[in-house]
Amino acid sequence: MKPALFLLLLPCLAWLPAFGPDGVFPAVPLEQPAPPVEKPWPSGGQDTAIVVEPRTRELTLYIGNLPYKTYKIALGKPETPTPVGEFRVINKYKNWGSGFGTRWIGLNVPWGIYGIHGTNKPHSIGTEASHGCIRMHNRDVEDLYERIGIGTRVIILGHVLGEPHRDPRRLAKGDAGGDVLLIQNRLRAAGFFHGECNGRFGPATEQAMKAFERENGLPVDGVVGYHDYRALGLLE
C-alpha cells in the first residue's frame, strides 16, 4: 500500500538578461575575448529560492529559475521527518548552539522550530539523521548563509505522508508535522475535530481520533495507524 502522493512543484520565475540603455543586449567587440560570465550575487530578495530534494539529499540555491549552487545535506529520520512544503527564512544566527554547527537559518514551519544548520557530526551528511532539521557541512552552511536573506523561499519537496515505499508513520499525542495537519483536516471534514488545525497532535486531536475510531469500528486508542489511514481515505 502506498500513501496518496502530493507533488510540490517549483513555480517558474522570469529570468531576463540585462539590456543596455538602447534596449539592445551589449555585444563584445570581436577583437577582444569575451569576459568570464559571473553569476549574480543573490540578495535574499524575491529572485532567490532554496529547493530541497529528499531523494538525492541535496539542497540547491536558485537565482531566478536557474540553479546557482548545490550542497549535500542530511534530513530527518523517518520517525521525525523533515517538513514538506514551502516556507520562508525568518531568522539567521551565527554559532546558535554547539549541536547546530556554525550557522542557523530558521524557517517559519508552524508546528515547531525547524531550520537549516551546520553540524558537529559531518559523517551524518547524506543520511536521515536529524529530528527534522536540514543539516549541512559547516563550510557549506556558512557559504549559504551569506547568499540568502530573511524572506528567502525554501521549498522542500516530497510527500506529506513520507516516501512512497514506506508506510506512513504512526501518529500519537505529542507528535507534530504535516502528516498531523493532514489528519486534523480529515477529521475536521468528517465532523470529529473542532480545534485548530496546526500540525500538533494534542489532546483535542487524540479525542477526535478516538471518536472517529469508535464510529468506524476500529480499535479505540487515539493513535493513527495503518487501519486509521485507510479509514480516512489516505491509503489505497
CA neighbor of 118 nearest in space, from 104, 106, 128 = 104
User: Within 10 A of 31 (CB to CB), how many other CB atoms are there?
Assistant: 5
CA neighbor of 86 nearest in space, from 10, 3, 139 = 10
Instruction: Find all residues with CB under 8 Å of 170, minimum gap 6, and list them.
Output: 223, 224, 225
DSSP of 194-224, one letter per residue?
-S--SSB--HHHHHHHHHHHHHTT---SS-B
- Please give the Cα distance from 162 to 200 (Å, whole number): 17
- Letter for the amino acid at 30? L
Instruction: Find all residues with CB under 8 Å of 38, minimum gap 6, and list them.
Output: none
As separate numbers, helices (DSSP H) first and strands (DSSP E) second, the chain gives 4, 9
Catalytic residue among 117, 123, 131, 165: 117
Instruction: Find all residues with CB under 8 Å of 24, minimum gap 6, and list them.
Output: none
Catalytic residue among 133, 137, 159, 194: 133
- To the query of whether residue 197 is one of the catalytic residues in this protein, the response is no
- To the query of whether residue 133 is one of the catalytic residues in this protein, the response is yes
CA neighbor of 59 nearest in space, from 162, 152, 179 = 152
Tell me 60's DSSP state.
Answer: E
Catalytic residues: 117, 133
